[in-house]
Amino acid sequence: MKVVALFRVSTEAQADSGLGLEAQRNAVELHCEKHQLNLVADFTEAGVSGKTPLGDREQLLKALAYVASQDCAALVVAKLDRLSRDPLTQLTVERALAKTGARVISAAGEGTEGEDPSQVLLRRIMGAVAEAEASVIGARVKAALAAKKARGERLGRPPFGFQLRPGGGGLVPNDDYEKALRCMDLRDQGATYREITEELEQEIGESWTINKVFRIVRKWGDLQTLELAGEHYE
């Protein structure tokens, strides 16, 4: 039985460390091996919140399209909250898969073993728990950010190619600035993330990843971030 995997981590720190993604991959691969599932493809969302609207989940949408086009039986995740922390999104994905005869499988179980009422109820409960956890985490993060702002501290990590100005007060370019510019130039020319990764590795002579390119493009494409950088650029 052919299946497709989806991996997701919500923060760039998790994406950089690889620990969250590695743990998910191990869980999914062990589950597939145990149940004799043929894992034919996987899709990774690095630095993507579980509350992101479905329409903005590029890799999830690609995974769903792949399941449909390749006649796969399921989309496998390590846990249901890796699929989404929004119950509506979870339900929408389940229904989209059902139309092609596929389903969601959680390596942790969580009510994905079947469609009997008890399994469906368990899935709905797990979805509600994931949503509640996201709300609690969001409230804590907002409180922490408000405290940092009150102390006059800058919020968030600088975009690739910039560093904090010594003594605070803004951002200044660092040694990676030209690499970031080259990355954005290639993207503006219509290059894909994979093409940019390969081109930069060839030009710069160092290892790059698609996830790294994706994060650079996303942060540099954030007008607020660029305005902040430009305001203090020297």
The predicted structure's pLDDT at residue 224: 42
* Burial readout 117-134 (b: 16 or more C-beta within 10 A, e: otherwise): eeeeebbeebbeebbeeb
Q: What is the pLDDT of residue 102?
A: 93
The three-state secondary structure class of 208 is: coil
Determine the pLDDT at residue 229. 45
Q: Quote the pLDDT of residue 133.
A: 64
CA angle 159, 162, 168 (to 5 degrees): 105
Type of residue numbered 170: G
Residue that the structure tokens 């219509």 belong to: 190
Mean pLDDT of residues grouped by 10 in the chain (234 residues)?
92 56 91 95 88 88 94 94 87 90 89 73 70 61 61 66 70 83 86 89 86 83 48 38
| CA-atom Rg of the chain in angstroms | 20
What is the rounded CA–CA span in Å between residue 66 and residue 60? 10
> How far is it, in rounded angstroms, from Cα 91 to Cα 114?
15
Q: How far apart are CA 25 and CA 162, in angstroms?
A: 32
| Fold for the domain defined by 2-134 | Rossmann fold (3.40.50)
What local confidence, expressed as pLDDT, does residue 145 receive? 55
